[in-house]
Structure 1
Amino acid sequence: MPSLLRNGQIEQDSWLPPTEALAPGHLATVSQYVEASEKPTAVQIEPGEGIADVLENLDSLELVAVNFPAFMDGRGFSYARELRERGYTGELRAVGAFIRDQLHYLSRCGFNAFQMDGESALEAAKASLNDFSEHYQAAIDKPQPLFKRRAG
C-alpha cells in the first residue's frame, strides 16, 4: 500500500488509482461516477473536468482526489477551493506532480491529504505544511484577511 500525508500525518492509503472499469477499492473517474447507477464514494478529478458532475452528491463522497499531472497546472487549487466553499467536508486529496513548495498553499485551498509522486519526500512534505505562521490573504483555512483578524 502506498503512503500519503493525511491531516498532517504519514499514513498508509487504502484507495487505489482509477482503472478502466469501476472496481471496488479504486477511485472512480468522473465519467465512471456520472455513469454509475450506485454512486461511488471516491472520485478522482482530472484537470479540465471541473467539479460540476459531483456537486449534487457531495454529502455521500468520502474522498475527492484531484490530479496534478504537472506542478505548473493550477486548476486543482480552484477545484479544492470551490469544493470547500460548496460545503464538502470529506477528504480532499492532491495526487500527482505537485511539489513540496506547493503543499502549504494546497492546504490553504482546502486539501487535507497529499499523495506525492515520490514517497521518499513525505517527511519533508510534512514539515512544509508549517512553512508560514501567518498569512495576509483570506483563504479556506482562514476566511478573514490578517487586518480583520487583528482588528478585534
Structure 2
Amino acid sequence: MVATAIVPQAAATGTSTPDVYRGGRFEPNDFVIAAEDSGGDGLILPLAALRTALEHDGPGNRRLGLLFSPADRLEDALPLLDRVAVLAIDFPKYADGRGFSHAARFVRAGFTGEIRAVGDVLIDEIPLMRRVGFTAFEVRNATTRRYLSEGRDPSPGLHYQPGAVPEPPAGTRPWLRRRAT
C-alpha cells in the first residue's frame, strides 16, 4: 500500500528524532510518521490514509497511530480511535495552538492511549500540553531536548484551575490542585 502523508513542519526539515520524551525521560521511538517510514513496529498515518489502511487491512501486523493535523475534524477521527495505539497531534508551528484544544477534546471523548505532540514542540509549551492530556513528546528542537535531558522540566507543581486530566486536590483548598507525580 502506498500512502501519501501530510508531513509535519519539523519532519520537512529532514531532521530525524530517534526517541520520544515520555515519563520524564527519552525513550526509543516505537512509531514513525508515514513520511519517515523505515519499516519499524509502529506507523503513524494521517486521517485519510489511516481510514484507507483500516478499510483494506493496511500495513499487516504493524501497530497504527493517527497523525491528527490542526485542520482535521474530531468527529472524523472518533470512530477510528479504538483501533489506534497512538494519537500524534501535529504542531506545524509553535504559534498554532489548535493542538491543545484537540488533545483536550480527545481526552474528554474517552481516548486513553498515548497522546503525542509532534512538530514544533518547545520547552515552555510542555507543561500546558500535559495539562490537556499529552503523555509523550517528539521533540526536535535542540534547546528543548537539552533542557529535558538535563531534567529542567518547567512544569509547575500547583495549579489553580482544573485541566483536562484528573488532578488530586491539594490540602484544604479544593480549587488548588497538585500535579500528579
Shift of 1:123: 4.7
1:17-72 Cα deviation digits (max 9, x unpaired): 12399x77321111111223137731101111132222023222210101101000
Q: Find 1:33's aligned residue among 37, 45, 50.
A: 50
Aligned to 2:34: 18
Shift of 1:148: 3.0
- Count of aligned pairs: 149
Q: Is the 8 A contact 2:25 2:148 kept in 1?
A: no
Q: Which amino acid aligns with 1:28?
A: L
Q: Is the 8 A contact 1:108 1:141 kept in 2?
A: yes
Aligned to 1:59: 82
1:80-111 Cα deviation digits (max 9, x unpaired): 00001111111100001121000000010100
Matches within 5 A, 1:86-105: 86-105=109-128
Q: 1:52 to 1:144 in 2, by over 3 A?
A: farther
Q: Which amino acid aligns with 2:34?
A: P
Provide TM-score, normalisation by structure 1. 0.82
Relative to total residues, which structure has the larger strand share, 1 or 2?
A: 2
RMSD (CA atoms)? 2.7
Whole-Å separation in 2 of the counterparts to 1:65 and 1:128: 24
Secondary structure of 1:41's match? strand
Q: Find 2:163's aligned residue among 139, 145, 151.
A: 139
Paired-residue identity, %: 27
Secondary structure of 1:31's match? helix
Q: Which amino acid aligns with 2:162?
A: A
